[in-house]
A and B are shown apart, each in its own frame.
Chain A
Amino acid sequence: KNQVEQSPQSLIILEGKNCTLQCNYTVSPFSNLRWYKQDTGRGPVSLTIMTFSENTKSNGRYTATLDADTKQSSLHITASQLSDSASYICVVSAYNQGGKLIFGQGTELSVKP
């Protein structure tokens, strides 16, 4: 069964600190892995998209890594800001499933002053 699991479920950090969110997937055949940020009450916004051949991609203070062999990904946030408080969702696309995306449950990040 195609699944995406994220950890931790929630995380509280102090402003300025770094943090790393984890994602494990069993989706096959793998096409790409995306990280989305979702603010409360709003639609998800794409942070990164990585294919099988890419093992790291950055978007400002966000850096995603991908290990396609172990089927694991991480999202590292550097020098966190209050505006980083949101749900971070790992999303995987299967090669033969067109536009269907498989979502993890998300990690709820809270950045405190």
Chain B
Amino acid sequence: KAGVTQTPRYLIKTRGQQVTLSCSPISGHRSVSWYQQTPGQGLQFLFEYFSETQRNKGNFPGRFSGRQFSNSRSEMNVSTLELGDSALYLCASSSLRGGNTEAFFGQGTRLTVV
């Protein structure tokens, strides 16, 4: 069974540009959550999608957005990139929402904003 796949693995963008990251969850999983990881802040929750609907959102500005498709694949978009957006972006998939359901993480997308 394939794991969580995130593409691309590495990305370099210029300030002011926008970027789209992709996450393909484990087959059969309907919940996808996104996290930002930086050395100073650790892992922070961005948003959660389940059945194509955003169910939960973290404390990030509106420049960060996402969506989920009918096949459960998810994308997140960051517009008007800032230097501080440089981070490892991780997505996690699970079969159900919350509870004791295990979350499986992808390898992440390393975004560098210059």
Complex CA gap A46/B103 in Å reads: 8
Q: Is the CB of A43 within 8 A of B33?
A: no
Contact A98 to B90, CB < 8 A, known contacts A43-B105, A43-B106, A43-B107: no
User: What is the interface size of chain A, counting residues whose CB is below 8 A from a CB of the partner?
Assistant: 23
Residues of A within 8 A of B75 (CB): none
Cβ of B45 within 8 Å of any chain A Cβ, yes or no, is yes
Contact with A31, one of B31, B43, B98 (Cβ below 8 angstroms): B98
Q: Is the CB of A99 within 8 A of B105?
A: no
Contact A43 to B4, CB < 8 A, known contacts A98-B55, A99-B48, A103-B44: yes
- In residues 42-97 of chain A, which contact B (Cβ within 8 Å)? 42-46, 49, 51, 89, 93, 97
CB distance from A4 to the nearest CB of B (A): 9
Residues of B within 8 A of A89 (CB): 42-43
Q: Is the CB of A100 within 8 A of B58?
A: yes
CB distance from A30 to the nearest CB of B (A): 12
Contact with B along A23-42 (1 / 0, CB 8 A): 00000000110001000011
- In residues 81-114 of chain B, which contact A (Cβ within 8 Å)? 90, 92, 94, 97-108, 110
Contact A98 to B97, CB < 8 A, known contacts A103-B42, A103-B44, A106-B42: yes
Interface residues of chain A, those whose CB is within 8 Å of chain B, are: 31-32, 36, 41-46, 49, 51, 89, 93, 97-106
